[in-house]
A and B are shown apart, each in its own frame.
Chain A
Amino acid sequence: MIRFTLNNQAIELDAEPAMPLLWALRDLLHMTGTKYGCGIAQCGACTVHLDGQPIRSCVMPLSAIAGKSVNTIEGLAADASHPVQQAWLEHDVPQCGYCQSGQIMSAVALLREHPDPDDATIDNYMQGNICRCGTYPRIKAAIKSAARQQLTNYTLGKNVGAQA
């Protein structure tokens, strides 16, 4: 029995310890927002957060996540209110949409580490996420929008705090 936290809910799973998290999510838990694209950590479609860090769930065995916390696209904001989701909406980023769960999860992690990333930082951080439709220019623009939004929120928050 493998126990972990998934989107803030306790999970108990009776599964092969060697099974990658991706297949446990998709086939055992029917959480199909996380996608299969390559199976060898080359494309990023399966990106989720493990204790806050982005990982490729297709190569992460269940045995390695015992006791840890996993967050998937389904746990980001069900109403799509997260600044990254909102920026994706603003720029009409997706085409087919298949890689976008992974793109969004990588972008959320990027902005956590680099609140105001430049082009090179975005390129470097996001190059593990392939989009065959070619939405890269819009992903880049959306990340910058989300960064501005988050920085604005942060500044407003500070101002409110100072006044209070």
Chain B
Amino acid sequence: MKNNIAVQNISRRAFLKYTGVASGALILGTLMPAFTQAWAVADPSGDKRENPLNLFVSIDTDGSINIVCHRSEMGQGIRTGIAQIVAEELCADWSNVNVIQGLADEQYGSQNTDGSRSIRRFYHTMREMGATARAMLEQAAANTWQVPVSQVYGQNSMVLDKNAQRQLSFGELAQAAAQLMPPTIDTLTFKSPDNFTLIGKPVRSVDLPEVLTGDTVFGQDIYLDGMLFASIERCPVVGGKVKTFDKTAAMQIAGVQAVVLMPEQNLPVVFKPLNGVAVLASNTWAAMQGRKKLAIEWDLGANQSHDSERYLAQLKQKIVTKGKVIRSDGDAYQAYDNATSKLSATYTVPYLVHAPMEPPAATAVFNNGQCEVWACTQTPQSTQQNVATALNIDTSQVKVNVTLLGGAFGRKSKPDFAVEAALLAKASGKPVKVVWSREDDVRHGYYHGISAQYFQAGLDANDKVTSWLQRTAFPSISWTFTGTTDEPQTGELSLGFGDVPVAVDNLSCETHKATGHIRIGWIRSVSNIQHGFALGSFVDELATAGGLTTDKMWLQLIGEDRHIDPRTQGFAYENYGESFERYPLDTMRLKYVLTELMAKSLANVKPKNNEGWGISVHRSFVSYVAVATKVKVQDGKVSVLEMHSVIDAGTVVNPDRVKSQQEGAMIFGLSIALMGEVSVKDGAVVQSNYHDYPVLRMHQSPKIYTHIVASAALPGGVGEPGVPPVAASVSNAIFHASGQRIRDLPVNKYFSV
């Protein structure tokens, strides 16, 4: 075969079966050592990096079009969205398209499916991929007909001749096209958005039919012949170790086949398995029963002194004092002293955990120095690397199959659970599936950091804000990776804090130190959660104090249309990894979603007695979202009645999936605002399951209205940006309904929900 092949012929069809999980097959054979990638047949002498598009499209002679989705599907609809973009430029008939889940492979580029970046980072690449394949098919047809390629065009999985009544199907052309060199990017032609038939259309999720019949395969669903099921008792305190353990009683449980001490790990925790003892059995139930019989003595280590209540009290004490300045303009302190009226408030958000419906699970088999993994992972390549490191083998010897993810929200971008499976497969010599229980998930997560925020504003005699001061403190995600980081990092401060979009002459943004004691990770929208809550609440408080509506106060604070560059005020703003030219922080778009929100929700119309509206607006992941929430507060109970969100995410590939993400973000945000709290005592997480870490249920779910701004701007993020404004909108609504201001989440500390 030639190098850089974009389109493969039928002989490559056989490789599809090696992607296994995409077929809906429930019982998967052990595939080692067949480490062949799906149609990854590029000549190793060729320079793959010049044109890596060749990994994504394959066409069978029967006309089936196989499109690789290299990003993980966790409910956001990416397997559909990626394929829509490729198929659009390919001019494919959607009914011919199969979506194949890509294995871990650095040739795909980043596969780390977090940061709301699948579409914004791959929109153009995927268009190029489709256009490249279409160009090859067109060239193949032109060659067949002996006409210039300009005389032919692709349409509905066919290539047609402009000057003659003739056509060839993609299937008929596939073999000839696969022999051609792919065109260079600069020669490609793209469809005009006016002619799009797939991009911008509410195409149904490609996985929907299997969901309805229970035929989907998630990480928890993998089964290999001869497999053992593992349940692991992990140290309740991070950094703790197994001192001694007795496996006698566990081994007596029917079905238990082995008890394995996990290899001892030291801090920093990174993605290493937690210290503990695994029980391997012939089924999950037996493994769980055996685990209960383990007698383990722990050396809990230094973090056993961690107490979240005490820790938060310390953060609250610190946060009202001057901190380390990360962005400033003018003199916020002097201006505050000179102000006519003043307002200040402290806001806190507790630790949070992801609690996806599917607890983490991974299956591994180790043989002859090679490892194959099946996991519900958001991050296939990091899974591959971490497994390789743990087993002390080369990454090329680790094959990672990505299953569907039963929710993830950031938890499954930490591959610790796959490393556990790999280590146990090696230790036992058998395929092993590690099944995390719900208790494991809640007690051994990578938690959203507990935080305190302090906001202070000074106003002049005309009620203009002349001084703005804000501080934040929370244990950093970086602590997970270093074990020593003791203050928020620039990346986290770039999430709704250092990029605060206020037009105030005297500004100071400051941080305080906070170190880690439990694994800190990223959860849907990350530190935008606490920053969005604090900012959105404070603006509402300012509005109330000044006798303005909250939207008016926002518009006044945001100021005139402009692009804000926090770097000019000393903050090394990261802008979600995007350039400022392509993705400016555009106050016009921020104000527009707010204005649209007020028009759609009628949130300024006075509601009934005991009812109140709250609003907030936030830019994150380079998208703009405004949220309005209506609540009723009566007899000590908060009922959420109605929510509206307006999102400007630039170009939208699948409006129905954007809508569903917004619906989901409202509900995820409500869970955080109303009930989300993980507490830690003696270094261990107190909660364990949905009874004490409640998430929103049907009867608490309001009517939700989603409004998507029509835009031709570059695509922005979708999965996360809906979350940050929610908590503030809820808390503000409660205030306007009841007069009670909630500054310390969650709401259920004060009201029943």
Residues in B whose Cβ lies below 8 Å from that of A37: 357-359, 438
**Complex: A23 Cα to B229 Cα, angstroms:** 11
**Complex: A128 Cα to B697 Cα, angstroms:** 8
**Complex: A134 Cα to B75 Cα, angstroms:** 10
> Measured between C-beta atoms, what is the minimum distance from A60 to chain B in Å?
12
B216 within 8 A of A: yes
Residues in A whose Cβ lies below 8 Å from that of B358: 35, 37, 96, 98
What mask results when residues 189 to 232 of chain B are scored 1 for a CB within 8 Å of chain A, else 0? 00000000000001011011111111111101101000001000
Residues in B whose Cβ lies below 8 Å from that of A146: none
B699 within 8 A of A: yes
Question: CB distance A32 to B221 under 8 Å?
Answer: yes
Question: CB distance B220 to A35 under 8 Å?
Answer: yes
Q: With A38-B438, A96-B405 given, is the CB distance from A43 to B214 under 8 Å?
A: no
What mask results when residues 19 to 56 of chain A are scored 1 for a CB within 8 Å of chain B, else 0? 11001001110111111111110110100000000000
B138 within 8 A of A: no
What mask results when residues 260 to 303 of chain B are scored 1 for a CB within 8 Å of chain A, else 0? 00000000000000000000000111100000000000000000
Question: Taking CB as reference atom, which chain B residue is nearest A80?
Answer: B212
Q: With A27-B284, A123-B699 given, is the CB distance from A32 to B357 under 8 Å?
A: no
Question: CB distance A78 to B690 under 8 Å?
Answer: no
The contact of A97 among B75, B408, B409, B689, by CB within 8 Å, is B75
Question: Taking CB as reference atom, which chain A residue is nearest B358?
Answer: A98
B582 within 8 A of A: no
Question: CB distance B285 to A132 under 8 Å?
Answer: no
**Complex: A19 Cα to B286 Cα, angstroms:** 8
Residues in B whose Cβ lies below 8 Å from that of A79: 213
B181 within 8 A of A: no
Question: CB distance A134 to B357 under 8 Å?
Answer: no
> Measured between C-beta atoms, what is the minimum distance from A114 to chain B in Å?
14
Question: CB distance B357 to A35 under 8 Å?
Answer: yes
**Complex: A105 Cα to B506 Cα, angstroms:** 59
A144 within 8 A of B: no
Question: CB distance A123 to B212 under 8 Å?
Answer: no
> Measured between C-beta atoms, what is the minimum distance from B227 to chain A in Å?
9
The contact of A78 among B213, B221, B704, by CB within 8 Å, is B213
Question: CB distance B214 to A20 under 8 Å?
Answer: no
Question: CB distance A23 to B698 under 8 Å?
Answer: no
> B73-90: which residues lie under 8 A (CB-CB) from chain A?
73-77
B738 within 8 A of A: no
Question: CB distance A43 to B212 under 8 Å?
Answer: no
The contact of A133 among B75, B209, B254, by CB within 8 Å, is B75
Question: Taking CB as reference atom, which chain B residue is nearest A75?
Answer: B214
Question: CB distance B214 to A32 under 8 Å?
Answer: yes
A69 within 8 A of B: no
A145 within 8 A of B: no
**Complex: A73 Cα to B26 Cα, angstroms:** 15
Q: With A37-B357, A78-B213, A98-B218 given, is the CB distance from A135 to B283 under 8 Å?
A: no
B548 within 8 A of A: no
B665 within 8 A of A: yes
> Measured between C-beta atoms, what is the minimum distance from A6 to chain B in Å?
13
Question: CB distance B357 to A45 under 8 Å?
Answer: yes
Residues in B whose Cβ lies below 8 Å from that of A88: 208, 211-212
**Complex: A67 Cα to B407 Cα, angstroms:** 36
Residues in B whose Cβ lies below 8 Å from that of A132: 355-357, 407, 409, 668, 671, 695
Question: CB distance B214 to A134 under 8 Å?
Answer: no
Residues in A whose Cβ lies below 8 Å from that of B404: 96-97
> Measured between C-beta atoms, what is the minimum distance from B187 to chain A in Å?
38
> Measured between C-beta atoms, what is the minimum distance from B254 to chain A in Å?
6
What mask results when residues 408 to 444 of chain B are scored 1 for a CB within 8 Å of chain A, else 0? 1100000000000000000000000001011100000
> Measured between C-beta atoms, what is the minimum distance from B112 to chain A in Å?
18
> Measured between C-beta atoms, what is the minimum distance from B289 to chain A in Å?
8
**Complex: A32 Cα to B357 Cα, angstroms:** 15
**Complex: A133 Cα to B661 Cα, angstroms:** 8
A116 within 8 A of B: no
Question: CB distance A98 to B699 under 8 Å?
Answer: no
**Complex: A97 Cα to B665 Cα, angstroms:** 16
What mask results when residues 685 to 712 of chain B are scored 1 for a CB within 8 Å of chain A, else 0? 0000111000111110101100000000
Q: With A80-B213, A95-B660, A97-B406 given, is the CB distance from A134 to B283 under 8 Å?
A: no
The contact of A33 among B77, B207, B208, B214, by CB within 8 Å, is B214
Question: CB distance A40 to B284 under 8 Å?
Answer: no
Most buried by A among B216, B254, B695: B216
**Complex: A137 Cα to B663 Cα, angstroms:** 8
Residues in B whose Cβ lies below 8 Å from that of A23: 283-285
A139 within 8 A of B: yes
**Complex: A95 Cα to B218 Cα, angstroms:** 13
> Measured between C-beta atoms, what is the minimum distance from B114 to chain A in Å?
15
Most buried by A among B204, B223, B283, B671: B283
Question: Taking CB as reference atom, which chain A residue is nearest B643?
Answer: A137
> Measured between C-beta atoms, what is the minimum distance from A102 to chain B in Å?
9
Question: CB distance B701 to A137 under 8 Å?
Answer: yes
Question: CB distance B667 to A134 under 8 Å?
Answer: yes
What mask results when residues 111 to 146 of chain A are scored 1 for a CB within 8 Å of chain B, else 0? 000000000001110111111111111111000000
Question: Taking CB as reference atom, which chain B residue is nearest A100?
Answer: B211
Question: CB distance A42 to B689 under 8 Å?
Answer: yes
B331 within 8 A of A: no
**Complex: A99 Cα to B210 Cα, angstroms:** 13
Q: With A16-B254, A37-B358, A133-B75 given, is the CB distance from A122 to B698 under 8 Å?
A: yes
Question: CB distance A134 to B665 under 8 Å?
Answer: yes
Residues in B whose Cβ lies below 8 Å from that of A89: 204, 208-209, 212
Q: With A100-B211, A134-B663, A137-B663 given, is the CB distance from A40 to B75 under 8 Å?
A: no
Question: Taking CB as reference atom, which chain B residue is nearest A99?
Answer: B357
> B310-357: which residues lie under 8 A (CB-CB) from chain A?
355-357
Residues in B whose Cβ lies below 8 Å from that of A36: 220, 284, 359, 435
Question: CB distance A137 to B703 under 8 Å?
Answer: yes
**Complex: A154 Cα to B211 Cα, angstroms:** 27
B597 within 8 A of A: no
Contact sample, A vs B, 21 pairs, CB 8 Å cutoff? A16-B285, A16-B286, A32-B223, A33-B215, A35-B358, A36-B359, A40-B689, A79-B213, A89-B204, A92-B660, A94-B211, A94-B212, A95-B76, A96-B74, A96-B75, A130-B357, A130-B697, A132-B357, A132-B409, A133-B75, A134-B668
Query: Which residues of B are in contact with A by a Cβ distance under 8 Å?
Result: 26-27, 73-77, 202, 204-205, 207-218, 220-221, 223, 229, 254-255, 283-286, 355-359, 404-409, 435, 437-439, 656, 660-661, 663-668, 671, 689-691, 695-699, 701, 703-704
List 6 A-B pairs, minimum CB-CB distance, nearest first.
Answer: A33-B214, A98-B406, A134-B667, A96-B75, A95-B75, A73-B214
Known contacts A97-B216, A98-B218, A123-B698; 19 further A-B pairs (Cβ under 8 A): A16-B286, A26-B221, A27-B283, A30-B26, A35-B357, A35-B358, A76-B213, A95-B407, A96-B74, A96-B405, A97-B404, A99-B406, A130-B357, A132-B356, A133-B75, A134-B668, A136-B696, A137-B663, A137-B701
